[in-house]
Chain A
Amino acid sequence: MRPLALTVFLALVLAAPLAAAQPAPAQDPHAGHQHGPIADQHEQPGAGPAAAHAAEGEGKGFENGRGAALLFWVLALATVAGSIFVVTRRNLVAAVMGMVGTFFALAALYAMLYAHFLAVIQVLVYAGAIMVLFVFVVMILNRPEDEPWALQGLLGKALAGVAILYLLVRVSGVLWDVKDSPHAVVAAPRPQAIDTTSVGVLENPIQSAQRDDDWGSTRSVGKALFRDYLFPFEAVSLVLLVAVVGGIALSRPHREAEDNNE
């Protein structure tokens, strides 16, 4: 079980630096709408391969190029594999660890959709708080069960070693870049004007003109949350209060519930 959890940790370690490296292709803000795949799939079926070749030749390193697509497929694979892992485990701790890996991959996907604030919230709330809650409950009611199949022994250790080595390499690479230029790991501003015929999800077709550079950041989401959505926000605080009170009331031992065994 422990090597399997480490295998999930490998997926987690793979997902996190890739997500951190994702905004890096946006450093050239003008390359995006020039070489992007701008062909509409439904309206111009013939223009697809040409745009694809353009993206293949010149579009490397920009946000809707092949790097982003490869990142998406890796993260999608991690998400689906982690979900299947969670659903098929007998061991609860392994399932929780798989869930944490899945949440990290989902947070990276949120970041790909420019939901930076929600990616951070996902990691903090889901992978942090909720999964710690699950681990506590597993600790309370854990009974050891047999594993259907698991990577045992040397393979799991080798995977864990590769994961840790990869983590060290990536972290040292990031730190090296920071020493060179302080803005190398910071996301560049988004492209301002985008071709309106674009249908790529990473390029916005509808309201690109009035969109801010920090769309999806903490500032803009906070504006939406505290202006238009202030009442739901406060209602959610009430829901959380009720949940806290309900959790305490439910988990407190009741004397009259003791004789209630089916």
Chain B
Amino acid sequence: MNEIFYKLTVSHFLILAAVVFAIGTVGVLMRRNALIVMMSIELMLNAANLTILAFARYHGGAAGLEGHALAFIVIAVAAAEAAVGLAIVVAVFRTRRHADIDRLTLLKH
């Protein structure tokens, strides 16, 4: 039982990724500031990347390197998402003087 503390397996990384993903989910659901929500989304993407890389390390070989390529593409898409999302936040703030997502209810009605 004690060996989970000093014997690393793939489960350690997967559980850590799950915890980080859960924290990011909590941030997306609980916070009202749009920037914090976007940072929580980045956290969730990073948790997914950590999962990909842990499995790539576990599998190894050429298939593992394909996992690295996938993680690279995830990072690039996250950069694009951050650019577009921040532009949306700036546009919303410019027209409404706040970035509170609970008050952005224009599409609700």
Contact = CB atoms under 8 A, between A and B. Distances in A.
Interface of A: 37, 41, 48-49, 52, 55-56, 64-66, 68-70, 72-73, 76, 79-80, 83-84, 86-87, 89, 92, 95-96, 99, 102-103, 106, 109-110, 113-115, 117-118, 121-122, 125-126, 129-130, 133-134, 137-138, 140-141, 199-202, 204-208, 210-211, 215-216, 220-221, 223-225, 228-229, 232-233, 236, 239-240, 242-244, 246-248, 250-251, 253, 257-258, 260-262
A87 B35 CA distance: 11
5 contacts: A83-B19, A87-B40, A96-B39, A115-B68, A208-B60
Interface residues of B, number: 73
B9 A225 contact: no
Given A48-B3, A87-B26, 16 more contacts: A65-B6, A92-B33, A99-B42, A106-B50, A118-B72, A121-B75, A126-B78, A206-B61, A224-B68, A232-B69, A239-B76, A239-B77, A243-B79, A243-B81, A247-B83, A258-B95
A41 to B, nearest CB: 8
Contact of B43 (A49, A83, A215, A248): A83
Contact of B53 (A92, A95, A115, A129): A115
B90 A251 contact: yes
Contacts of B10: 201
B30 A87 contact: yes
Contact of A211 (B38, B60, B87, B90): B60
A243 B68 contact: no
Contact of A202 (B40, B49, B57): B57
Contact of A221 (B8, B33, B65): B65
B19 A221 contact: no
A114 B57 CA distance: 7
A113 B53 contact: yes
Given A115-B68, A201-B58, A224-B69, A92 B80 contact: no
